[in-house]
Amino acid sequence: MSAFTCCQRRLQKSLIQETKRHFSEIKIMSEKALGIGSACPPLTPGVLRLYSMRFCPYAQRTRLVLLHKKIEFETVNINLKQKPDWFYARNPIGLVPVLEIDGKVLYESNVCNEYLDNVYPSPRLMPTDFYQACQDKMLWETFGKVSQLFYEIPKSVADGTLPKCLRRYERQITRYEIELSKRGKYFGGSSPCMVDFMIWPWFERIPVLTIIAPEAEIKSHKFPHLSSWMNVMMELPAVKETYEEPTAHVHFFSSLRAGSPDYDYGLS
């Protein structure tokens, strides 16, 4: 690694830490995951609450939108392996993200984010043109074709199907490379839109995938638009705030596969 690259990484890490300090001053955080036997923290009238988990990409989608729109909210992280009963009362499926305010409860990241974009419309993340809005929705609704491979590729190493999985991965990633080439700097053109935030969490986790399959890296000669997009996304304050280092993601994925997910990794 060159001295210039090392300097770049140190500067990026410093900017991320500075951004995290800034956001911690303007929003309430309850970081440690609450599980069975815990009490639900008291709700405050008029205060939006997000039930989340620090390493969940779906919850990160909603965290990104909340932060990008500068919406005031508080976070309660949930132990998804040993969920408290009061959490099931809010989402019978037992998944995050969940939004709650003044007796209103919503879950599923796409539902939560559409709600936020309508109730807090500035900056607008979904097009007002209905056809274009549907075009955008198709991009994130079909992103499961990519995200499922994050679990299939590790398994494919053992059963000898890695080359096949990687071909599927490249084919699906290419769809987004082509689409981005038509749109500009972001999927929203000159500024980010809902698509950018709905798919970003998995791009943040690609370094975990490349440990098993180096071919999964988004290289500039192969995916020039996505490679550039990843760099500009990393400059967004909301992305910096929710960002976890690759080592943290690797640790969490390892603990998850071992059956003992370390939800509080890195917290004092």
The residues assigned a catalytic role are 56
**Pair 241, 67: CB distance under 8 Å:** yes
Tokens 């988004």: give the residue: 218
What are the angstrom distances between the C-alpha of 257 and each of 42, 183, 254, 262? 33, 37, 5, 11
Distance CA 103, CA 159 (A): 48
Distance CA 97, CA 50 (A): 7
CA dihedral 258, 90, 238, 82 (to 10 degrees): -20
β-pairing, 28-34 with 73-78?
parallel
